[in-house]
A and B are shown apart, each in its own frame.
Chain A
Amino acid sequence: MIRVLLPAHLRILAHVDGEVKLEVEGKVTQRSVLDALEACYPMLRGTIRDHVTQQRRPFLRFFACAEDLSHEPPDAPLPDAVVTEAEPFLVVAAVAGG
C-alpha cells in the first residue's frame, strides 16, 4: 500500500480523514500513484493535475522523505520508503492568506 497525504481542501472534497492508502500496480511513480488516487476518488480528477496537460497544478507540490519531488519526471520511481509505507507521499498546497 502507498500512503498519500492530501491537503485539507482535497481531504474534504474526497470525504477522507487523515492519510489515504492506495494499492498501486507496477512501478510506484508520481503518475501511478495519482492514477490510483483518481481511480479511487474520481472527484479529485483535475484538482491535482490538469485534465489535458497532466501537469501538476502550480499551487500544489509533491514531497516525500523531506525531498521536493515536484519537478521530478512523473514516471520517475518514488523513494523506497514510500513504496514500503515507511513514508507518505505528500501533496502540499501553497500556504495562502485570505
Chain B
Amino acid sequence: MSEVRVLVGTRKGAFVLVSDGKRQQWDISGPHFGGWEIYHLKGSPADPNRLYASQSNGWSGQLIQRSDDGGKTWQPMDNKFVYDGVPGTHQWYDGTPHPWEFKRVWHLEPSLTDPDTVYAGVEDAALFRSSDGGQSWRELSGLRGHGSGPHWQPGAGGMCLHTIVLDPSNPDRIFIAISSAGAFRTDDAGETWRPINRGLKSAHIPDPLAEVGHCVHHVAMHPSRPGVLFMQKHWDVMRSDDAGESWQEVSGNLPSDFGFAIDVHAHQPDTIYVVPIKSDSEHYPPDGKLRVYRSLTGGNDWEALTKGLPQRDCYVNVLRDAMAVDSLDACGVYFGTTGGQVYASSDAGDHWAPIARDLPAVLSVEVQTLP
C-alpha cells in the first residue's frame, strides 16, 4: 500500500509525519534540528529518500542538511553561499542602495530527475544550484544580473527568492518568484532571465503596472500543463495561460484576495486551492474563520471548504510554502499554520482534520507520495 510522508518545517525544528494510504493514523518524528528554524525541507522526486533541509538561526546563520534515508538521519552539507562576482546593490526599504547580503535559504527545490541536483532560493534574492548533492553551491547569477536587480526592494519579510517551479516538459525552463520584485523565467537552464509580470497590478507601488516590484507570494503549476501558472500575489490571485507572458486576475468571489499559499490538485489541473488572509497588517483569516477556498474552474468561482476547520476565533496564518498535495487517487491536501497545526484532507478538501496540533509555528509543508 502507498505511504504518505509529510515534511514540516517549523520555527523550532523539522517534523516528519508518516501514514499509510488511508491517511487516518499519523506517526510523527522530530523535532529534527530542535531549536533551529527550518524554513523548508523537500524530497527529491527522483529518489524520495533523498531529502534536503534548510536550517538556520540568528546566532549561527545557515546550514544545509541532507538525508539519504527519508529523514531518519541527516548530514550537514556545504553552507557556503557566495554571490557570483561583485554582489552590487539593490534598493533598501527607503530607496537607498543596499549591498546584497546573504541571509538564509528560503526554499530548496530538488531536480525532477537528478537527486544530486538541487536549487536554493535565498535572501537577499538569488538562485543557487548544487549539482553534487549539496556539497557545493554556485549562483545562477544571470538572474540578479539581467538588469532590474538594482531596483528590487525587500518586502516586509526580507528580499527573498521563495518560489522555484521546474517545468517537467522542458528542463531548461524554470520559474522563480521574489518578494518584492516579482516573477521571472529562464528558458536556458538559468543562464539568462527575464521578468514575467505583465498583467500584475499592485496599487501599493508607484507604478502599479511596473515590470518589476510586485510582491508575488507564491506560484503553482500542474505538471501536466506547465504553461498554466497560478499565483497568489500580495493582493490578487492571478492566472497565466502562456507561461507567465501575461496574467489575468481570477480572485472572483474570494472573501480576501490576499494570502500566501496556493496549490493545484494532483489530478485536476483546473482545481486550485488558496487560503484567504486578511491584510494589510492583520495576517489572519477573515472573521476568525479558517477556510480553504477551492476553485474547480481555475479561478474566479470559489467555494469555501470549512468542514473540520475552526470557524470561530481562529487567528493563525498559513505561509507561502505551507500547503502541498499528495498524488493518491483521492487527492490529499495539507497545510500548516503559524499556530502549529497541520491540517489534512484525504478527499480533495471536502473534509479536514488536524494531523498535528501543537507543533511550533509552521513555515513549510511538503508531501511525498511513496509507493
Kindly list chain B residues whose C-beta atoms are within 8 Å of the C-beta of A60: 59-60
Give complex CA distance A10, B34 in Å.
12
Give complex CA distance A57, B76 in Å.
19
Kindly list chain A residues whose C-beta atoms are within 8 Å of the C-beta of B34: 12
Kindly list chain A residues whose C-beta atoms are within 8 Å of the C-beta of B57: 9
- Chain B residues within 8 Å of A, Cβ to Cβ: 11, 34-36, 57-63, 76, 79-80, 82
In the complex, the answer to whether A10 meets B82 with C-beta atoms within 8 Å is no
Chain A interface residue number, banded: 20 to 34
In the complex, the answer to whether A57 meets B60 with C-beta atoms within 8 Å is yes
Known: A9-B36, A51-B82, A52-B82. A93 touches B59 (CB 8 A): yes
Closest-by-CB residue of A relative to B11 is A98
Give complex CA distance A93, B60 in Å.
9
Known: A51-B80, A52-B82. A7 touches B59 (CB 8 A): yes
In the complex, the answer to whether A94 meets B59 with C-beta atoms within 8 Å is yes
Asked if A48 is at the interface of the complex by the 8 Å CB criterion, the answer is yes
Known: A10-B60, A94-B59. A46 touches B80 (CB 8 A): yes
In the complex, the answer to whether A57 meets B61 with C-beta atoms within 8 Å is yes
Kindly list chain B residues whose C-beta atoms are within 8 Å of the C-beta of A96: 58-59
A91 CB, min distance to chain B CBs, angstroms: 10
Kindly list chain A residues whose C-beta atoms are within 8 Å of the C-beta of B82: 51-52
Closest-by-CB residue of A relative to B83 is A52
Asked if A13 is at the interface of the complex by the 8 Å CB criterion, the answer is yes
Contacts A9-B57, A47-B59 supplied; 18 other A-B pairs, CB < 8 Å: A9-B36, A10-B60, A12-B34, A13-B63, A42-B76, A45-B79, A50-B61, A51-B82, A52-B82, A57-B59, A57-B60, A57-B61, A59-B58, A59-B59, A60-B60, A96-B58, A96-B59, A98-B11
A and B contact pairs by CB, cutoff 8 A, 12 listed: A9-B60, A42-B76, A43-B63, A43-B76, A46-B61, A46-B80, A47-B61, A48-B60, A51-B80, A51-B82, A57-B59, A57-B60
Contact flags (1/0) for A5-27 with B, using CB distance below 8 Å?
Answer: 00101101100000000000000
Determine the main DSSP class of B at the interface with A: loop
Closest-by-CB residue of B relative to A50 is B61
Q: Which 9 A-B pairs have the closest CB atoms?
A: A47-B60, A43-B76, A59-B59, A51-B80, A93-B59, A46-B79, A59-B58, A52-B82, A9-B35
Give complex CA distance A52, B36 in Å.
23
B255 CB, min distance to chain A CBs, angstroms: 31
Closest-by-CB residue of B relative to A60 is B59
Give complex CA distance A42, B79 in Å.
11
B361 CB, min distance to chain A CBs, angstroms: 10
In the complex, the answer to whether B35 meets A13 with C-beta atoms within 8 Å is no
B351 CB, min distance to chain A CBs, angstroms: 35
Closest-by-CB residue of A relative to B87 is A52
Kindly list chain A residues whose C-beta atoms are within 8 Å of the C-beta of B58: 59, 96
B237 CB, min distance to chain A CBs, angstroms: 32
Closest-by-CB residue of B relative to A43 is B76
Kindly list chain B residues whose C-beta atoms are within 8 Å of the C-beta of A42: 76
Kindly list chain B residues whose C-beta atoms are within 8 Å of the C-beta of A43: 63, 76
